[in-house]
Amino acid sequence: MEAQAPAEFTVENIERALHQLYFDPNVSVKDAAQKWLMAAQVSQQAWQFCWVLLQKDKAAEVQFFGANALYIKISHHWAELPADHYASLRTQLFQQILAFAAGPRMVLTRLCVALSAFALNTMPEVWPEAVKGIVDTFQQATSTELSPSQRCGALLELLTVLPEQHNTTCLAQSRRGTVRHAMQGGLPYVLPLLQNLLEQPSPLDVQQQALKCFSSWVTFGVPLNEVEGLTNLAFKAVRSPELFDVAVDALVNVVLQPMAYKYPNTVQKFLPQVLQLQDMLETAIKDKDMDTCNGLCRLAVAIGENHSKVLLESTGQHKQNSLELIKIIMMCTGIPGRYPVDETASDMTFSFWYILQDDMIASEPQVFQDHCAYFIPLYMNLDDMIASEPQVFQDHCAYFIPLYMNLVEILLIKVQYPPDTEYSSWTAEEKEQFRCYRQDIADTLVYAFNLLRDSLLNFLYAMLSTILQQDRKQQEETWQPTEGCLHAFLSIGESVDPEECSDQCILNMFNLIPKVPITHVRLAETTLYTIGAYAEWLNSHPELLSGLIPLILSGFTNPDLTLSSTLTLKDVAQECSKNMQPYANDILSACQNALTGNIMKAKDSIRLMHAVGSLLSVLPVQDILNYLHAILGPHVQQLEASLNEQPSASSKATVIQKLNMLSMLFSALDIRRPESEEAEKRQPKPRADEPQPVLLVLQQVYPIVQRLVSQWIADTGVIECLTPTLQAVCEMFKRAVRTLQDEIAPMTAQLSELLVQVYNAIPQSSVLDMAKQLLTLFHSSESHAATMQTLFLQLTSRTVSLFQQGIREHPDLVEGFMSLAGSMLKRCPAVLFQENSNPEALFQCGLMALSFPENHVVKATCVFFAELIGQSVSNPLVLQVVTQHGRMLLEVILKAIGGDAPRSVTDNMADILMALNKHCFQLTCTWMGEVMKVEGFPSGLVTAQQKEQFARNVLKLLKHCFQLTCTWMGEVMKVEGFPSGLVTAQQKEQFARNVLKERVNKRKMKETVKEFSLLCRGLYGTEYAAETEFEL
């Protein structure tokens, strides 16, 4: 079939193709057979051959193909079937379902799906009581070949897939309500049948199918108060090992259905039955039956998460039931064993604690006072609680805070690492799951902290104190509890507000940290991360730094701790810089040793330079220079030595590391940086008379970098090494400029020259970003005007040549250049419109950029055109270019609106239309009339009337242009198919008018463009357009 002319869709050819698909070892033969079979099952002949394929003597795969072809024809090609064939098709479907009631199962299921599709297509007009008819047909069937159990199984299978098919089928909007109503009319025939089967001693397979059918109809949407009996039977079925899974699935679907919140009383009736399963859960935990644990946990959490308001607002005995349910969820949280090796249930409960908290916060104050007194102490801020209802706090806090403390105790156990011998046996996937699990625990501890505040801090302090009082050998052997306490302290670090929490509580914890025996790498990591998490708080308590800094620096000598130690030092140095001067010598010496000791990885060395820069920023300039000479000297020498090496991948890695180290230093080392926002507002800047060390370093390394770039550019064999190196060079200069600002002025000419050299050799967006920085800083400087103009002119010349050669594969370059040009037009148009500039070339480049599929490119280009058109008012040269090529621009815009560009950029297209309207109204009127005459433009989905309406909305006729607009609008109305065949002449006319009349209101312009764009695409008024609007 793969190398021959297309074969006829006969039964013999289909069977041959199926044999090839399932059994031929040749992949190309399989692919060809699959494509042919897909064409066969949508062909007109499928209505005939599907019945032959379903004959009993055929293989199971052939029968399945026949059943599937029948489903595809009914569901997707229904219009091919004449109405007078409906009755016979239904009869044949019932006959085939009964014929396959004994199997194969996959064929039976597919036939049931086909009959479900038939029912959805014909109810209620052709088949008014489809569900009743299905039940009656099976009850009246008298086949002697089928047992009652088989016949019942086939009926249940059909009733199961019917609501599933309804939920997954895309029905026409006009039929959704009627079909759903017809389905609901069948509930009185389905629910009693299911209840009868579950109440009687039916075979297990029938009970399983009945529970699945119940679950399916619940998902479709059944009032909870109408299925109380079935729900009670499902709770009984949970006790049966054979029915456990399907019963739990059904019950979970019951409480998850969207309309369940309307029946709080019914939900409360379910709680006692859930509580009766507690003994089953305890037994499963004892027997380590994780399947049962997971199922019962799913059920309890589903009720808790989806009906937390019912739990909160309950009273009397229902309140007690709610509390008992929470205890069951707590039991699931603390299920013994290590996640995910021993158990996988505890993580299901974490979201419950958040949802319950969220619902309480959203509740009305009176609800809190009257109904939620039991629960408030679990989650709400204690200060708020005491202030609002002191008596409630006093009455209930004593009971619930210990309960919630119990949750914290559980989490402190669950978060602990296993022994090393056990952990080493875990797979990489299990370790990653455990890492995520610990993060989930950290989030849950934050919820606890929102309630307990100082109580939680004091609890952690007491736990850690108790551990540290143990025998040192015991501490070294069991480091996990210590690490668990510190992990909890770390978790709440970002939530600690010094104004709300007692400093003494945090001080107590930090006084213990230096006493922690660092006996394990993981314990050391958590300790270091904890210090970093409280870096901002430590800035107000500098007395603690003397005990913490040696701990941080000790990590420099251990390769396993360089990541955590450098991250912590970076945070502490940045937040506590003004208090670090007494420790600067020790820290900088340790940094120097670490950087020359070949212990740290490249990323750690780069990160460490940020801490070095923050520390140096608070020292006298001469001390800074001395330290820089000692710390940077060896690395600058290595960078210089690379000039004498043959460029290679290894030398590239070394060079990039050194450049990135300099980048990180430049971003952090700033002696002008104010100590606070208030200080930033004061003038003059501190130490303004002293040179910036970054400038001195940059002047030293620039010749090396310039020679390196020149050599590598000349060597055409290392292009793959050069691109990331040049990106690192540009990033280093960008960070230096960001720190120095206008103090970079002495090096402006050198940097501009290097940027042009790099861009001419290997164009890349990082060069354009760097050039944008320089042009923004010095465009208005008379002493640098010539340099800036030359820089922009040369970058533009190279970019224009790239457009001419073909730049489609480099959208980042196009975006970078359009962003640069748009920014210059806004800030300093004189840079663009100099003597040797070529605005026409820029305009043509912009036209090409508008056709790019990438959103970010189109958006940057739209900004460029909006700014360029605005310049036409004051610049005759630009006005000439816009006059000559504006019609082409308008044509490109309308094609983009009509469907050539993603919908997400139509708002930006509206900005260009607004600019044209505002600055070139007469020309826009003329161009609009001309382009709207083109048939099929901008889309064949809009009519001439729709195009006319669009033009009217955009242009919003003014009196002095009324006659002109009327003339061309009449012409537009006569043009068929432009810009789309889906818009009418009236719609086109209205669009043009709306566009022309809108010269101020951007919102209205965007709405006009959006509406016309949807018309052109055939999406106006569709659900898809509404659903995807917020995704754009």
Per residue, the 3-state secondary structure of 141-201, as one string, reads CCCCCCCHHHHHHHHHHHHHHHHHHHHHCCCCHHHHHHHHHHHHCCHHHHHHHHHHHHHCC
In the chain, domain spans: 1-77, 82-185, 263-376
Can you give the pLDDT at residue 879? Answer: 84
**What is the C-alpha separation between 622 and 403, in angstroms, rounded?**
60
- The answer to whether the beta carbons of residues 893 and 909 sit under 8 Å apart is yes
Ramachandran angles phi, psi of 368, nearest 5°: -60, -50
Can you give the pLDDT at residue 721? Answer: 62
Give yes or no for residue 860 having a pLDDT over 90. yes
949 DSSP β-pair partners: 988, 990
Distance (Å) of CA 904 to CA 853, 1016, 1022: 11, 15, 17
In this prediction the pTM is 0.81
Can you give the pLDDT at residue 979? Answer: 65
Positive or negative: CA dihedral 446, 449, 454, 460: negative
For 642-669, give the DSSP string.
GGGSPP-HHHHHHHHHHHHHHHHHHHH-
Distance (Å) of CA 897 to CA 400, 887, 892: 60, 15, 9
Mean pLDDT along residues 614-634: 94
- Per the listing, tokens 């699959």 go with 34
**What is the C-alpha separation between 991 and 952, in angstroms, rounded?**
5
Report pLDDT digits (tens) over 137-160: 998 877 667 888 999 999 999 999
In sequence order, the 6+-apart residues with CB closer than 8 A to the CB of 927 are: 886, 887, 890, 891
- The answer to whether the beta carbons of residues 652 and 725 sit under 8 Å apart is yes
Number of Cβ within a 10 Å radius of residue 1026: 10
Report pLDDT digits (tens) over 906-954: 777 888 887 777 776 677 777 777 777 777 777 766 777 777 777 777 7
Q: Which of 767-776, 940-949, 1017-1026 has the lowest mean pLDDT?
A: 1017-1026
∠ Cα 363 366 367 (to 5°)? 45
Report pLDDT digits (tens) over 489-509: 999 998 887 766 678 889 999
For the chain, helix, strand, coil in percent to 5 are: 80, 0, 20
Give yes or no for residue 393 having a pLDDT over 60. no
Give yes or no for residue 905 having a pLDDT over 90. no
Collapsing DSSP states into helix, strand and coil, what is residue 382? helix
| Helices (runs of H) and strands (runs of E) counted in the chain | 55, 0
Report pLDDT digits (tens) over 463-488: 999 999 988 777 777 899 999 999 99
**What is the C-alpha separation between 679 and 673, in angstroms, rounded?**
9
The overall average pLDDT reported for the chain is: 85
**What is the C-alpha separation between 815 and 193, in angstroms, rounded?**
65
Can you give the pLDDT at residue 1028? Answer: 61
**What is the C-alpha separation between 898 and 976, in angstroms, rounded?**
15
Mean pLDDT along residues 584-598: 93
Q: Report, in angstroms and rounded to the nearest whole number, the Rg of the chain calculated over CA atoms.
A: 37
In sequence order, the 6+-apart residues with CB closer than 8 A to the CB of 962 are: none
952 DSSP β-pair partners: 991, 993
Give yes or no for residue 18 having a pLDDT over 90. yes
**What is the C-alpha separation between 598 and 585, in angstroms, rounded?**
21
Structure tokens at 849: 């950029």
